[in-house]
Amino acid sequence: MASSLAAVTAESRPTFSIHWILGLEMEKSGNSVDLHRPWTEMGAEKENRNKRVCSKPFHCSEEVNSPQPSSSWYVGRRPRTAFTNSQVSVLETVFQVNCYPGIQLRERLAQRLDLEEDRIQIWFQNRRAKLRRSLRESSLQLVQTTVNDLQAGNKVRDQLELTSHLLVSDHE
Amino acid sequence: MASSLAAVTAESRPTFSIHWILGLEMEKSGNSVDLHRPWTEMGAEKENRNKRVCSKPFHCSEEVNSPQPSSSWYVGRRPRTAFTNSQVSVLETVFQVNCYPGIQLRERLAQRLDLEEDRIQIWFQNRRAKLRRSLRESSLQLVQTTVNDLQAGNKVRDQLELTSHLLVSDHE
DNA sequence: TTTTAATCTAATTAT
DNA sequence: ATAATTAGATTAAT
């Protein structure tokens, strides 16, 4: 609420400082206000993009030429959430019933498990991906098995054909 | 915090009620604990997909029992956030500088604009998609213009060729 | 009708 | 192994 008020105060003014908005973030990048849109140069440097030497684009825009993967002062990614066994247990149970929980159920789960709603959302997305993956794999395995069985069947048939051919030849 | 305690209490018990977990959500679906995984029956109903009966998995299961697919969808969806002009203004300004804000900047923006961090994340995702779309369109238009120019150039060249041919023919 | 917030998948990155 | 992020495609609210 207090932060909201501060924001509104600044927002009502047409010109506001980018430094004020970015706060501490600006200290590290200095005054350079360079755009970071790696996907505009798609074909050119795939390596740089894939490597994502700097998951914090802001600070590392100059690092495109000098990659320092192990700059540990900050990583732009949200720290990995470590779900407890109990939390996963509940989530798995709910997933069995409904793997596309709506906002109400997600909020409820967030409250009951003391997690943010978005963590729930992401968990279900990843869980569905996992299930799809396993289903794909098992169906692939089914195909493999079927192919193998067919091949085995063919071998038997070939054996039979060979035998019958020999018998026929024997008779002729 | 209180909800956390409640959750832990229930979690520590190996057997917990699915109804307790789902709470009010269960009222709608009754006692039937039917799985909802529309993508497991992918190949089976291609017609439905083409007919656009339900392209979202969510309505599919609901639609079986309820005749109002549209009303059942938006109850499950988070209510659309209405950003104020001021909020968008700040977001746009930050976007000019960094369209891939890390977790710190996202949290800072969330605090200052009185929004959830995930709303910020989603806003930037949609904003990047919009920018990419506009870039694609403008580059497409560039191609169109180039093609048109080339065609116009060809016409001029054809005119010149025709003229010279007539002149040559005239001399022969 | 247009714009865009929310949701989803698929692939990937990174812990 | 899986949480987090991205692009891209849709859906649906304004």
Rounded mean pLDDT, B105-132: 96
Q: Is the pLDDT of residue B10 over 80?
A: no
Q: Is the pLDDT of residue B64 over 70?
A: no
* Residue contact B100–A57, C-beta within 8 A: yes
CB atoms within 10 A of CB A171: 6
Band of pLDDT at residue A169, cut at 50, 70 and 90: low
Mean pLDDT score of chain B, rounded to an integer?
71
* Residue contact A78–B7, C-beta within 8 A: no
Q: Which residues from chain A sit within 8 angstroms of residue B78, using beta carbons? A: 103
pLDDT at residue B163 in the model: 86
In the numeric block, which tokens belong to residue B82?
Answer: 């209405």
Measure CB to CB from residue A97 to each of B22, B23, B77 and give the nearest one.
B22
Please state, in angstroms and as integers, the Cα–Cα distance from residue A71 to each residue in A56, A67, A77, B99, B104, following that order. 10, 9, 13, 21, 16
Band of pLDDT at residue A25, cut at 50, 70 and 90: low
CA A116 to C1' D13, whole Å: 25
* Residue contact A114–B7, C-beta within 8 A: yes
- Higher pLDDT among residues A32 and B89, named by residue: B89
Q: Residue A12 CA to chain centroid, in angstroms?
A: 38
Q: Is the pLDDT of residue B4 over 50?
A: no
Kindly determine whether the C-beta of residue B85 is less than 7 Å away from any atom of nucleic acid strand D. Answer: no
Please state, in angstroms and as integers, the Cα–Cα distance from residue A15 to each residue in A11, A20, A146, A157, B57, following that order. 8, 11, 69, 83, 45
Could you tell me the pTM of the whole model?
Answer: 0.68
Measure CB to CB from residue A103 to each of B10, B76, B108 and give the nearest one.
B76
Which of A131, A102, A93, A122 lies closest to B39, judged by CA? A131
Lowest mean pLDDT among A95-104, A127-136, B144-153: B144-153
Nucleotide C11, nearest residue via CA and C1': A129
Kindly determine whether the C-beta of residue A134 is less than 7 Å away from any atom of nucleic acid strand C. Answer: no
- Higher pLDDT among residues A124 and A32, named by residue: A124
Q: Is the pLDDT of residue B1 over 60?
A: no
* Residue contact A18–B94, C-beta within 8 A: yes
Band of pLDDT at residue B170, cut at 50, 70 and 90: low
| Nucleotide minimizing C1' to CA distance for residue B80 | C5
pLDDT at residue B172 in the model: 53
Band of pLDDT at residue B169, cut at 50, 70 and 90: low
Interatomic CA distance for residues A114 and B169, integer angstroms? 90
Question: Residue holding tokens 């994340």?
Answer: B121
